[in-house]
Structure 1
């Protein structure tokens, strides 16, 4: 119960801070409403879902960082001492996804998608069907085979707003969260969107692996973009290139590779040359530090580790 109250107090504190600012700005009203609703949903879910408290804890760290990026909250570092020096590993909606997967079990794919759609619809109603803040637009489902009996591994697209927040979360995920084959593929193009001439970590997902994305607002199936083809060899005719690491495929495939040793071994056979990986990581780390300096984030070099039950 104490952790639950702490979770809610974070959201309440954000609301109180904004009352001191220009309360009539529409974008910030969108943030405070969604921050409160997402926090409330996570806390309520933690009551019903054993083993999920760490997701509430992790979500707090991620949400507060994005609040800093969004509002450039340089004047109030003390109340957020820990959160303003340690970097979260992923965006807040990924924590929401994990909570919903725990509640519904991974095999209940349609229920997972419906639960996310219901949450987004609730948030959309507050914004008159405008695009809501810090909410993912896409979910991806990966399986080691096309059969319905195999385990499903979910991922969502980056739920960030603004250029700095997205770049920070992709870098943090590359350096600390995603499977090495996924992070290697993304770092091949990140942060300059042009393939590095000294490092190629791209890979090719075997053809019998399921990797399928859906729009979270209407449930429609979505083809992989050109970026996902370049990173993971996914078959597509789509010419759009979203920022490398932004798509839901990255998180979904990472979860698949982390949990399915057989798939990991097969993907290893398709992975490109891995020389100079440390150099690529150093470049991403240096770019991350520059992004954090721009927003006056006093990073200690540590990444936030959520409390485990």
Structure 2
């Protein structure tokens, strides 16, 4: 079954809704987001805190993601609406691949995650320094909106939540670097589903993706955990268990829409697992049988991703292609 309105219905919606506040908020927030990041990156390159190559790739990735988000928005928001004519001309000449691929190649992570990654590279992994820098950037990014819907719809792209994790060795009393994650900062159920499935299929560590995907597949509503594989049954203090399950990690506040709000934790834990192989090796000993579900849930993610993209008019080829800002 196709999710969302058919493409021809969506085109009618586009004609009717382009003057609504939601579109104006998206455009203003996206435009402001791009300008502040462009200024921040340029300053960091001048001060030699970022290499020119890294700065260029960072801005290209953010630009691609903003244009991609506009393309899958309801109604569609084209680059010409996000940027003025002069900006379009300059940026398309400087980064032609971004404008060629924003509607054919998928991003690998949300826009704010790119900024967070750059901030960590510039400031280091000290929590206070990272938060200080992000707080200053967020303040600059905020666009003041008016009206009763301004709090709900305004400032689409800045994130208000950052998660952090690290490993602590109780024997040596030493710790690893801090690893950071951020919210999706996207609006619309289909749009959020698209980014969640991209993260699960392409970006997050296999175990994090598996935890999110299995709980999405086997627990559609609160209280239906009986359908979960035994390996990921939620942990209870009355049960004997040597670890906290994936579902317990991602099921927050008894909300059936966990997958739309828990990305900061998943993102930072994914980075921790990628960097610390010894943790992954210990997890492998817990229940190897759970990996038999990985192919099934991955296929489910791919299918939902393709259906959502098609229903929003995205050019889905035989194989999903992802944008690489370093090309």
Instruction: Output the TM-score relative to the length of structure 2.
Output: 0.69
Structure with the larger helix share: 2
Deviations 1:139-191 (A, max 9, x none): 11111117574211111111212222211111001001000000011111336
Q: Give the corresponding residue for 1:101.
A: 120
Deviations 1:243-299 (A, max 9, x none): 326420000000000001112222333457221321211111010011101110002
Contact 2:34 2:63 in 1 (8 A): no
| 1:120 paired residue among 134, 138, 148 | 138
- CA–CA distance in structure 1, aligned partners of residues 277 and 120 of structure 2: 21
The answer to whether structure 1 residue 293 and structure 2 residue 310 are counterparts is yes
CA shift for structure 1 position 137: 2.4
The 10-residue stretch of structure 1 (117-126 or 159-168) with the greater mean CA deviation from structure 2: 117-126
The 3 A distance-change label for structure 1 pair 201 and 171 is: farther
- CA–CA distance in structure 2, aligned partners of residues 95 and 236 of structure 1: 26
Q: Which has the larger radius of gyration?
A: 2
Q: Give the corresponding residue for 1:257.
A: 273
The 10-residue stretch of structure 1 (152-161 or 283-292) with the greater mean CA deviation from structure 2: 152-161
Q: How many residues align?
A: 264
The 10-residue stretch of structure 1 (242-251 or 185-194) with the greater mean CA deviation from structure 2: 185-194
CA shift for structure 1 position 111: 0.8
The 10-residue stretch of structure 1 (159-168 or 247-256) with the greater mean CA deviation from structure 2: 159-168
Contact 2:165 2:178 in 1 (8 A): yes
Instruction: Output the TM-score relative to the length of structure 1.
Output: 0.72
The 3 A distance-change label for structure 1 pair 35 and 200 is: farther
The answer to whether structure 1 residue 244 and structure 2 residue 259 are counterparts is yes
- CA–CA distance in structure 2, aligned partners of residues 74 and 241 of structure 1: 30
CA shift for structure 1 position 125: 5.5
Q: Give the corresponding residue for 1:133.
A: 156
- CA–CA distance in structure 2, aligned partners of residues 244 and 62 of structure 1: 20
CA RMSD across the alignment: 3.5
Q: Counterpart of 2:180 in 1: which secondary structure?
A: strand
Q: Give the corresponding residue for 1:31.
A: 30
- The runs of 5 or more residues in structure 2 that have no matched partner are 1-17, 81-91, 236-243
- The runs of 5 or more residues in structure 1 that have no matched partner are 1-20, 206-228
- CA–CA distance in structure 2, aligned partners of residues 167 and 31 of structure 1: 20
CA shift for structure 1 position 122: 2.2
Q: Counterpart of 2:164 in 1: which secondary structure?
A: strand
- CA–CA distance in structure 1, aligned partners of residues 168 and 66 of structure 2: 34
Q: Give the corresponding residue for 1:213.
A: none
Contact 1:185 1:201 in 2 (8 A): no
- CA–CA distance in structure 1, aligned partners of residues 226 and 103 of structure 2: 32
CA shift for structure 1 position 43: 4.1
